């Protein structure tokens, strides 16, 4: 495993609300090699798993092993994604998660990610790229939405923050695609993740690999792999707000 430290050029999030709104008004889509025409009827859900398979099938017919920058939220969520995608892509795991708190928790998750990559013995070597840990960027993005429930606007802004950095790194690094492991969680909105990723891909000129990794029992397989490798599995998403919610649920379950 090759480990590379990377510091993304600073983005000023002091005026996050305007930054965020400006990007949301740009239409979603996929550019470059990843562009697929997907016709859906009104009210019909898109099958992101099938769209991803179509992209991989096309790349296979062309005899290519495209490069993929895979944003990872944690080792457990990345386990199945790495097992699945390493057959089709030359993968670099990009670990950028400034939402995680406290710092000790962040460091624990980083080490587990690196250990998993070393121990999995995947079909192709996987590189590891560490983003900069700047919690202030997350708090700027979440400002005004601290009390939102998990899955609300605060989380959407967190998706945007992390995927924006991933898109920039993918573009500057010349990757063929970028995507995230986040959609493997039953608690994460795949529609929103793909909408944000595709829009950012258009802005940066690098295709977002549409995905919904919870499909085909992806989440179940990630639980199995986590047990197999003895991975540390956290009981909250990462930020202090989700940690407080997790503690409240636990207390309620204990009757306190």
Annotated binding site: 73-74, 155, 158
Residue where the block lists tokens 């503690």: 247
Instruction: Give dist(CA 149, CA 153) in Å, integer.
Output: 8
DSSP 255: T
Burial (Cβ within 10 Å: 0-12, 13-18, ≥19) of residue 185: buried
Identify the CA nearest to 184 among candidates 163, 212, 156.
Answer: 212
Burial (Cβ within 10 Å: 0-12, 13-18, ≥19) of residue 140: buried
With the C-alpha atoms ordered 171, 214, 26, 142, is the resulting torsion angle positive or negative? Answer: negative
Q: How would you label 225-251 residue by residue, b for 16+ Cβ within 10 Å and e otherwise?
A: bbeeeebeebebbbbbbbbeeeeeeee
Q: Binding site for [4Fe-4S] cluster: which residues?
A: 73-74, 155, 158
Question: Could you tell me the two tokens for 148?
Answer: 């939102």
């Amino acid at each position: 495993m090759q480990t590379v430290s990377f510091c993304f050029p600073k983005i000023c999030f002091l005026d996050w609300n305007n930054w965020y709104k400006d990007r949301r008004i740009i239409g979603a889509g996929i550019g470059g090699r990843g562009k697929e025409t997907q016709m859906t009827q009104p009210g019909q859900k898109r099958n992101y798993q099938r769209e991803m398979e179509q992209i991989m099938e096309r790349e296979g017919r062309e005899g290519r092993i495209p490069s993929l920058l895979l944003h990872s939220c944690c080792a457990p969520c990345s386990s199945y994604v790495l097992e699945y995608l390493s057959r089709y892509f030359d993968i670099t795991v990009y670990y950028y998660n400034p939402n995680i708190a406290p710092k000790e928790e962040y460091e624990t998750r980083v080490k587990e990610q690196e250990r998993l990559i070393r121990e999995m013995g995947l079909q192709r070597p996987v590189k590891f790229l560490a983003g900069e840990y700047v919690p202030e960027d997350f708090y700027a993005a979440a400002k005004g939405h601290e009390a939102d429930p998990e899955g609300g606007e605060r989380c959407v802004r967190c998706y945007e923050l992390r995927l924006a950095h991933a898109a920039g790194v993918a573009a500057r690094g010349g990757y063929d695609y970028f995507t995230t492991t986040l959609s493997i969680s039953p608690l994460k909105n795949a529609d929103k993740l793909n909408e944000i990723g595709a829009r950012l891909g258009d802005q940066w000129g690098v295709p977002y690999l549409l995905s919904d990794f919870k499909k085909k029992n992806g989440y179940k397989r990630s639980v199995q792999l986590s047990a197999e490798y003895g991975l540390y599995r956290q009981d909250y998403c990462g930020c202090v707000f989700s940690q407080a919610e997790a503690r409240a649920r636990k207390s309620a379950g204990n009757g306190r």
